[in-house]
Structure 1
Amino acid sequence: MNHSTFNAHEYFQKIYARPVLLEAKKLSQVFKHGKTERTILNQLDLKIHKREFICVIGPSGCGKSTLSRIVAGLDPYSHGELIVDGELIKGPSPERGMVFQGYTLFPWKTVKENVMFGPLLKGASNPSAEAAAREWINIIGLEKYENQYPHQLSGGMKQRVAIARALVNEPKILLMDEPFGALDPHTRQKMQKHLMDLWQNIDITIIFVTHDMDEAILLADRIVALKANPGEIKEIIEVHLPRPRTPELMLTPEFKKLRERVDDLVHAQDDEVDPALEDLPKIPLMTSVNED
């Protein structure tokens, strides 16, 4: 698909014709501490279709990570409904895989043992779990490293193992919370391409949390922009750019125009300070050294 043949209207018509896989109805999350309450997410209404790639962006404190943890079933929500494939989310499930910014691999297990963990937990036999793990280790291109431990791997390799460990369970939804945030720019770019290749070749819906606006535009079908205090959906943007996408696309006028729009959405909220950053104390002078 290229610029001359890409029809955004047709592309999104096909997406919206697919079944709704995830639906949030008036979803809210309220944190209570003593007599104080803080609304993290407020009345979110959102429909995500099968095989969509959704990126969630917004300022610090808008509830991006909270949303991903709620969808994963790791955190409860206070009000509303969250439905996956027609069923209410009531806790974690192998159908919703999660990849964090930290690599969260078991340091005492090899690459193969880390990827085998999920199938074994679900009751698979050792040979069956090993075969499934090997298949995904081959897909992520780490077959030469299957017997190595996490501390022997680079950051990009660790994150590929984390992705394989999530996908080996054949989830319907893959949740990714700043998964490439700790990587250097070159590795991050390679991982973005690898993730797009995976998504375009397997039956998976991805919800990807990021602070990086270029990354969101490069990856997403739609970008969900949240505002802070409380966390609400400010706008949902369709990314009218052809696939497959490459870093060269970032140099085009179409990309730059969309980048400006997304940038305005996020930075228009600079005055909406995260409560954690309010009333920062004045730092006392702790040294006698001056600039002279």
Structure 2
Amino acid sequence: MNHSNEYDAKEYFQKIYERPVILEAKQLSQVFKHDKIERTVLNKIDLKIHKREFICVIGPSGCGKSTFSRVVAGLDPYHSGEILVDGEKITGPSPERGMVFQGYTLFPWKTVKENVMFGPLMKGASNALAEANAREWINIIGLEKYENQYPHQLSGGMKQRVAIARALVNEPKILLMDEPFGALDPHTRQKMQKHLMDLWQNIDITIIFVTHDMDEAILLADRIVALKANPGEIKEIIEVDLPRPRNFDLIQTAEFKRLKEHVNHLVHAQEDELDPALEDLPKIPRMTQISANK
């Protein structure tokens, strides 16, 4: 689909696929055991992600989205298969894979600046260098006025900006984001999406972003990896053929709505099967006499 002279989707994706593969999953499986019950959460995932791609991972609840991001982060061991960054097996956490969670994971006893300095100090940087690097990132995320504040003094959006800076100060190859804007109000969420797109356009980073929000996935991603559950497998990989840089006006376009309908169907077609309890929700008995018209 050619939207304009400047943007050619086929050419855009051809350029992506010519870049080196930064992350590769080969037959990646993850099995959770509880007593004698085994549940396959990820089943033989094969996926190649290219350098500087923005990938969104979506799927119904319980499909293994967060499990996949935790395995890539090196926080959880996996059952079988392989997962490689630049051809090297992932064996545990590493500063080259930064992680931002939905919950605010800042150290509450450290200031904004101290939170962002933490990674470089752990890697052996001097205090002066760690502080200089932290200041640079605090400026980039626009929180220089708040560098001596503590997390409890910040809004949700500010906390997530600090969490992003804390991950990026380590100069990771890959930034993993697990529903990072899920707890934010819609206005703050939009601002954070815009800020993240600007960051990604301007720095050398590959982003793997887990979300259950269709609009967010289509707005942000180069490609969307749609998982199905029980067991968690790749159902489809969708190329988002919308021009960049993107803005929120895109949401009103026919192309955006067409993509959303397709993605929606992929994710929600399976949800009733996954949770049979939703099929026969009980009728709620009346428990108040205040108004029959309520």
Does TM-score exceed 0.5, indicating one fold?
yes
> How far apart, CA to CA, are the structure 1 residues paired with 2:88 and 2:282?
50
Contact 1:229 1:274 (8 Å CA) reproduced? no
- Describe the superposition over 1:186-245 as per-residue Cα deviations: whole angstroms up to 9, x where unpaired: 000000000000000000000000000000000000000000100000000000000010
> How far apart, CA to CA, are the structure 1 residues paired with 2:172 and 2:280?
42
> How far apart, CA to CA, are the structure 1 residues paired with 2:289 and 2:172?
58
> How far apart, CA to CA, are the structure 1 residues paired with 2:95 and 2:213?
28
1:79 aligns with 2:80: yes
2:229 alignment counterpart: 228
Kindly state the Cα deviation for residue 272 of structure 1 after the two structures are TM-superposed. Answer: 3.1
Kindly state the Cα deviation for residue 291 of structure 1 after the two structures are TM-superposed. Answer: 4.3
Equivalent positions of 1:108-187 (< 5 A) are 108-187=109-188
- Describe the superposition over 1:122-142 as per-residue Cα deviations: whole angstroms up to 9, x where unpaired: 111000000000000000000
Kindly state the Cα deviation for residue 3 of structure 1 after the two structures are TM-superposed. Answer: 3.2
Contact 2:272 2:279 (8 Å CA) reproduced? no
Contact 2:113 2:148 (8 Å CA) reproduced? yes
Kindly state the Cα deviation for residue 151 of structure 1 after the two structures are TM-superposed. Answer: 0.6
2:53 alignment counterpart: 52
> How far apart, CA to CA, are the structure 1 residues paired with 2:160 and 2:273?
33
Equivalent positions of 1:208-247 (< 5 A) are 208-247=209-248
> How far apart, CA to CA, are the structure 2 residues paired with 1:135 and 1:55?
27
2:4 alignment counterpart: 4
2:20 alignment counterpart: 19
> How far apart, CA to CA, are the structure 2 residues paired with 1:224 and 1:122?
33
> How far apart, CA to CA, are the structure 2 residues paired with 1:54 and 1:67?
13
Point out 4+ residue stretches in structure 1 off by more than 2 angstroms: 277-285, 288-292
Contact 1:228 1:274 (8 Å CA) reproduced? no
* DSSP-derived class of the 2:272 partner: coil
1:32 alignment counterpart: 33
User: One-letter code of the match for 1:53?
Assistant: F
Q: How many residues align?
A: 288
The alignment's C-alpha RMSD in Å is: 2.0
1:100 alignment counterpart: 101
Kindly state the Cα deviation for residue 279 of structure 1 after the two structures are TM-superposed. Answer: 11
List alignment gaps of at least 5 residues for structure 2. Answer: none
1:69 aligns with 2:75: no
Q: Identify the range of structure 1 (262-271 vs 111-120) with the bigger mean alpha-carbon deviation.
A: 262-271
Kindly state the Cα deviation for residue 103 of structure 1 after the two structures are TM-superposed. Answer: 1.2
User: One-letter code of the match for 1:195?
Assistant: L
> How far apart, CA to CA, are the structure 2 residues paired with 1:264 and 1:238?
16
- Describe the superposition over 1:81-135 as per-residue Cα deviations: whole angstroms up to 9, x where unpaired: 0000110000000000000001100000000000000000111100000000000
Q: CA 1:109–1:30 in 2, change beyond 3 Å: closer, same or farther?
A: same
> How far apart, CA to CA, are the structure 1 residues paired with 2:150 and 2:23?
35
1:259 alignment counterpart: 260
* DSSP-derived class of the 2:273 partner: coil
- Describe the superposition over 1:252-285 as per-residue Cα deviations: whole angstroms up to 9, x where unpaired: 111011111001111111233159x699998999
* DSSP-derived class of the 1:272 partner: helix
> How far apart, CA to CA, are the structure 2 residues paired with 1:243 and 1:282?
47
* DSSP-derived class of the 1:91 partner: coil
Contact 1:61 1:274 (8 Å CA) reproduced? no
Q: TM-score, normalised by structure 1?
A: 0.94
Q: CA 1:284–1:249 in 2, change beyond 3 Å: closer, same or farther?
A: closer
1:192 alignment counterpart: 193
- Describe the superposition over 1:57-78 as per-residue Cα deviations: whole angstroms up to 9, x where unpaired: 0000000000000000000100
Kindly state the Cα deviation for residue 35 of structure 1 after the two structures are TM-superposed. Answer: 1.2
